[in-house]
Amino acid sequence: MSAITAWLTGILSVVILGTVVDLLLSESKMGKYVRSVFAAVTVLVIILPIPGFFQNGCSFENDFIIENKFTLDENYLAYANRVKLDSLARGVEEQLRQDGIKNAAVCVEGEITASEVKIQLVRVNLKNAVIDEKMQHINKYELVSGKIAEYLGIEKGQVIVEG
């Protein structure tokens, strides 16, 4: 498969190089000669590797049939899922900021499958939080857990507010 890939890459690079040179040259006699040379080089790049495929026993069945063999990198999947959960946490922090609760630290824990996100627990640290003056005399723990449960569509019991 790598031989075919290299062959196609060579063809593509010669075509791109020829196009760039053609664009740079004006309609002069020199431009016509350069185009002719690039056309000949392109034909050679296409034709020369073909005999080698048949002499080396190239199997087109193995090169062109894509089998359903996938290997999953568990570390990458775990990283991607962590990024999704962190992004969800940043969105909750922004929503809290818009609602008058600034500098709240949010951590979302859960599982992500191909079809859904299952949030198991949300931890909120209000140690450095600054709450708007209008909301001074309210229970900030109830307020925050209620808002987060509403944002994420989860139960209030899944939200732990600290600080």
41 domain residue, yes or no: yes
Please tell me the pTM assigned to this model.
0.52
Q: Would you say 148 and 122 are in contact if contact means Cβ atoms under 8 Å apart? A: yes
16 and 86 in a single domain? The answer is no
**Domain membership of residue 59 as a residue range:** 2-64
CATH of the domain at 116: 3.30.300
Integer-rounded Cα Rg, in Å, for the chain is: 30
Q: Do 132 and 100 touch, CB atoms closer than 8 A?
A: yes
Mean pLDDT of 79-100: 88
Judge if 95 and 30 occupy the same domain.
Answer: no
> Residue 144 falls within a domain, yes or no?
yes
Q: What is the mean pLDDT of the chain?
A: 79
* Residue 69 in domain: no
Range among 19-28, 56-65, 113-122 with highest mean pLDDT value: 113-122
Query: What CA–CA distances, in Å, run from 134 to 79, 130, 163?
Result: 40, 12, 20
| Contact in structure between 38 and 19 (CB atoms under 8 Å) | no
Q: Are strands 159-162 and 117-125 parallel, antiparallel or unpaired?
A: parallel
Q: Are residues 109 and 157 in the same domain?
A: yes
Confidence at residue 114, expressed as pLDDT on a 0 to 100 scale: 65
Domain co-membership, 151 together with 81: yes
Residue corresponding to tokens 């992500």: 112
Q: Among 28-32, 97-101, 108-112, 126-130, whose mean pLDDT is lowest? A: 28-32
Asked if residue 103 and residue 25 are part of one domain, the reply reads no
Cα torsion through 112, 117, 118, 120, rounded to 10: 80
Q: How many domains does the chain have?
A: 2
- Which of these three, 43, 64, 85, is where a domain ends? 64
